[in-house]
Homo-oligomer: A and B are copies of this chain.
Amino acid sequence: MYSDNKIHIIEVGPRDGLQNLSGFVETENKISLIRRLAESGIREIQAGAFVSHRAIPQFSDMETVMAGLRDLHDVTLTALVPNIQGARAAMASGIRKLDFFFSVSRSHNLNNVRQTPQESLTALKIIRDELLSGTDMTVRVDFATAFGCPFEGTIKTDVILDYLKQVVSLGFREVTLCDTVGFGHPALVESVIAACRKHFPEVALGIHLHNTRGLALANALRAYDMGVRSFDAAIGGLGGCPFAPGASGNVATEDMVFMFEAMGLATGIDLPALLRASQYLHDILPDAPITSALFRAGLPGKVEFRDRQNDGC
């Protein structure tokens, strides 16, 4: 696990933030965005996904994006992969840490990646045996729909624990629970994380939250309370969920970093530099819905007296 009062922020905006945009983001802009995020002090960035170019054209330029970032040091660039083809392509492009994802909801995994969760775990075993041995590659395993599925509703904690057991037995120790569609709430976050930590204290648990119904930071706070120190977030709060059109997307990196830093917890991220990355995002994607409250409100600061009365409270 991470040290007790340090927060590890994993920036997933270049992947989850851009994934559902209707337009293609120019390769050079993706590279510039990732560089600016790195400059703010973020040490792990999900650069994109190695998935079907037909299904998600946004990531058809992943090799070029990675080639343009070869000189970026001190940052772990990761990529989302659902299968062995994706893992192989990611490694060939220079990725040294994979985010292997599957849904703990059978229906969602079938719908999303055309295989059962068990088939996904078989693929993960093949990746381990055929691609990872003898390399310095690491893998994080992402449990999609861990806090609810649009098809199946709430997922039983026992189901999550069973997949966690299999992932641990394959030798992996970094797992992220994903609130893929924003069904999570603090009491559920508390109970799921408590069960996972009780049965698998050796696992470094992370959490990936969407702000679909506004609860992302409350859920993050509860995850922190329960011992989680690794948090996904997306610059600008881009993202969104295909099952809730018009809804907010990922939790915004700016707001999450602001919350933890305000609480006296160290993220290692410089907020003014991060807000410059948000501004860059807004410049290159003026129509994308930036939902970060901090980006809109700005950092708190003292103001001069104003001639205004009866504002109430």
Contact = CB atoms under 8 A, between A and B. Distances in A.
B51 A310 contact: yes
Interface string A35-72: 00000000000000101100110000000000000000
Interface core residue of A113, A178, A221, A312 (most chain B CB under 10 Å): A312
Contacts of A255: 213-215
A185 B259 contact: yes
A119 interface: no
A230 interface: no
Q: Please classify the interface of chain A as helix (H, G, I), strand (E, B), loop, or mixed, using the class held by over half of its residues.
A: loop
Given A148-B300, A262-B185, A310 B55 contact: yes
Interface residues of A, number: 78
Contacts of A180: 311, 313
Contact of A248 (B145, B222, B264, B293): B293
Interface of A: 15-16, 19, 49, 51-52, 55-56, 80, 82, 101, 103, 107, 111-114, 142-145, 148, 150-153, 178, 180-183, 185-188, 208, 211-215, 217-218, 220-222, 242-244, 246-248, 252, 255, 258-259, 262-264, 292-294, 296-298, 300, 302-313
Given A182-B300, A186-B259, A212-B297, 14 more contacts: A15-B312, A16-B312, A52-B310, A56-B310, A107-B305, A114-B309, A180-B311, A180-B313, A185-B259, A188-B262, A214-B252, A218-B221, A221-B222, A242-B308
